[in-house]
Amino acid sequence: MNNTKLNLEMRGRPTVYDNEQILQKAQHVFWTKGFTATSLEDLLKAMEIGSGSFYNAFKGGKKELFRKAIQQRRIAFNQFKAELKQSESPINLIKDFFRSIAKSDQESHLQGCIIANTVVEMTFVDEELEQESVAILKEVEAMFTAAIDKAQKNGTLKNQTDPIVLGRYLITLWNGLNVTRRMYPDNKVLKTQIEMQLEIIS
């Protein structure tokens, strides 16, 4: 857990906020509405702070906050990456990772993946945010590739297709599912589709 604190100035007096909690609140707004459609008012209301406090903590404004919010997803992916490295059955963990989509609530389905959403939204709009999001997805792809390579070598994965190709298959599946779950926010439908796609790494 990141227990760093943010010192926000309100009416000349410092107020301490939990950094992780603030970012999670902001992330939820961005995840639901996207970067462009999210207003400062939306953020201030969700974060329960004033504009002075906001700009004191985030000198770069909405964009700086957004970048910090998507970095929270990188942290989550890195935690999963550490689990994969320690696991004797990394493929099972990857399967559970995808299967968890079909256990989500409807709001999560309609939100999709904030990182994939950002790649789509920021293409031709903000190259910096686009490339930062692309980099995170490529890290996830590399995480899948390494786990597949490990499983092939220890004999727990029969499919001996190039790990790079299979890793790219899985990130394609991830990106695709995060659109499909918006089309069909139904866990039974999603479970069927996910199981069929996961057969390739059996």
Around Cβ 99, how many Cβ atoms within 10 Å? Answer: 14
Say what the pTM is: 0.87
Domains delineated in the chain:
5-201 (1.10.357.10)
pLDDT in tens, 165-202: 999 999 999 999 999 999 999 999 999 999 999 999 98
Provide the token pair at 106. 């409807």
From 173, 85, 141, 16, select the one nearest 3 (Cα to Cα): 16
pLDDT in tens, 40-96: 999 999 999 999 999 999 999 999 999 999 999 999 999 999 999 999 899 999 999
